[in-house]
Structures are given as C-alpha cells and as structure tokens.
Amino acid sequence: MSRLEIKPLSAVAGAEVIGLDGNVPIADADFARVHKAWLDSCVIVFRDQRLSPDAHESFSARFGPLKGHVLKQYLLPGRQFTLVLSNKKVNGEAVGLEDAGRYWHSDVSYEDVPPMASMLYGLEIPPTGGDTLFANQYAAYTNLPQALRDRIAGLKARHVFNYGKIQAEPGSARKPLTEEQQKQLAGAVHPVVRTHPESGRKALYVSPGFTVAIEGLAADESKSLLQELIGYATAPEVIYRHVWKPFDAVLWDNRCLMHHATTYDPTYTRHMHRTTIAGTRPF
C-alpha cells in the first residue's frame, strides 16, 4: 500500500504531496491521486526532491509532453527543456532569467497554444523573499458579480509578451531577441473566460502581465474592464503564497492559476530549473 499523503496548503489553492520521490517511476494508482490533487488545488508541492535535470524532465513528463521555451538563451546548456531562473553570473553573464514573472501572468499565454503546466524546482533559495504567489482563477471567476459574468461571456482578449518593457527596466540583463524570436512572439487571442479541459470548470484568463486588450471594445472601455477583472483575479482571498524551501518542486496548472514572482535581496542566490508541459488551445 502506498504511503502517499496529500495535505492542503491553503483554503484557496495548493496541496503538498508527501511521500513521493520524483526520481522513482510513479505507480498508476499513486499518479491518479497526485493528478487529482493537482486538478483540485491547481498547484502541488513536492518537498525535498533531489532531481538531476534528467530526473526533473522525466518527472515533469509524467504529467504530459514537455515543451521548449522561446527564450532559448536561458535553457540549461545542451538541454531542450530545462529553463534556468537564476541571478547567478558567470564571467559577468547571467546564467538564467533573473527577473522572470515579476507580474501576474499565466505562463506563455501570448502563444496560441499555451503550456498546460510548469514545474519549477528550487535549487538555491534566499533565506527570505523570492516567494511565488498563486491566484486561483476558478475562485476569481466565481467571485464575479453575475452582471459582470454576463458582460464578459464570449469576449476574447489579446495577449502579448512584454519582453521589450522588461528589457528596458534599469539593470535588466536580458539580451535582445533574435528576429525568429520576435516572429514567434506576435501574440495570441484567447477567451476571457476559459473552460478547463479536464475539470470542465470556468476560470478567468486575463493577466496584467500579458493581456493588452479586450477585442472589439474601445481602448478606454477595454482598459477599465480589464482593470475591474484583474481586481477579482488578484484579490487577496484567491491567493496562495508559496514560501520556497531548497529542493521544492512545484507543479502549477496554467489553465486555472496566475502566478507572480516576488523580489528578494539580490545579494542572496536564487537558482531554479523550470520545465514546461505542453497544453491545448484555450476555449
């Protein structure tokens, strides 16, 4: 009998899976429980994992096929699927993305077929700061007044990567995009409310990070509607704050969550590996 335990991390999102080693192939019965916990709580945490890049990739691939990242310069050298988030420098060069996700977003929503999930694995964690916030977008949708739900039914929004803006921040170490990368980053249009393909539940799908406009509305109307929706999407009562410990592996569902990296004292090191799991077109 499996000794797997599942413990909620907050009332709104997050569960910890206890008793699972990501290095060991997961039996189908255990996987079914982990997968259900993930669908129910949108983000699951596996503490104290010791994952080589190979192990991290195969552990993540248990949940679905992996996907590369448009920012190839931040992949772990020689690898296709492991993105490095880090403030380490080697010969003055950033070894990873130092400022990833410091705004509310759902990963890569600026592509037509955004990833289903991401698994972030913390190798070095600052003693304080650098938490990740997760906002449950089922709850955000449920909290909308009925009139607002009616108003946004069927609306679509445009999502664009804000790379240029991030790069222009003082102190940004981000390298310019290649022409091919720019082409890949043309943006995408998605429903404002998406239906989760596995749970069948509705979730808000707009973010301050990537959503630039609601289609078919005048600019000021689009802006104020987005602002109103973002208020619900990021309300304190829909947020779980993940305080990292070294060797946490955190798997989140981009179809029902937004997340937000927080800052930390840059004299500390924060070094992480991320894999990305392919998704399907939002509807």
Catalytic residues: 105, 107, 259, 274
CB of 216 to ligand OGA, least distance (A): 30
CB of 14 to ligand OGA, least distance (A): 14
Residues that bind Mn ion (CB under 5 A): 101, 107
Are the CB atoms for 118 and 60 separated by under 8 Å?
no
Which of Mn ion, ligand OGA, none lies near 274, with the C-beta cut-off 5 to 8 A by kind? ligand OGA
Which of ligand OGA, Mn ion, none lies near 159, with the C-beta cut-off 5 to 8 A by kind? none
Which of ligand OGA, Mn ion, none lies near 125, with the C-beta cut-off 5 to 8 A by kind? none
CB of 260 to ligand OGA, least distance (A): 7
Identify which of residues 31 and 163 has a Cβ nearer to ligand OGA in the complex.
Answer: 163
136 DSSP β-pair partners: 257
Query: Half-sphere exposure of residue 173, counting CA atoms within 13 Å on the CB side?
Result: 17
CB of 277 to ligand OGA, least distance (A): 12
Cα separation, 275 vs 230, whole angstroms: 27
Which of Mn ion, ligand OGA, none lies near 85, with the C-beta cut-off 5 to 8 A by kind? ligand OGA
CB of 133 to ligand OGA, least distance (A): 8
Identify which of residues 20 and 240 has a Cβ nearer to Mn ion in the complex.
Answer: 240
Residues that bind ligand OGA (CB under 6 A): 85, 100-101, 107, 118, 120, 132, 259, 261, 274
Which residue, chain included where needed, has tokens 């924060």? 270
Cα separation, 265 vs 244, whole angstroms: 15
Residues 6+ apart with CB under 8 A from 242: 9, 14, 43, 45, 131, 132, 133, 134, 248, 250
Identify which of residues 101 and 282 has a Cβ nearer to ligand OGA in the complex.
Answer: 101
Identify which of residues 144 and 244 has a Cβ nearer to ligand OGA in the complex.
Answer: 244
Residue 134 token pair:
């997760």
Identify which of residues 43 and 203 has a Cβ nearer to ligand OGA in the complex.
Answer: 43
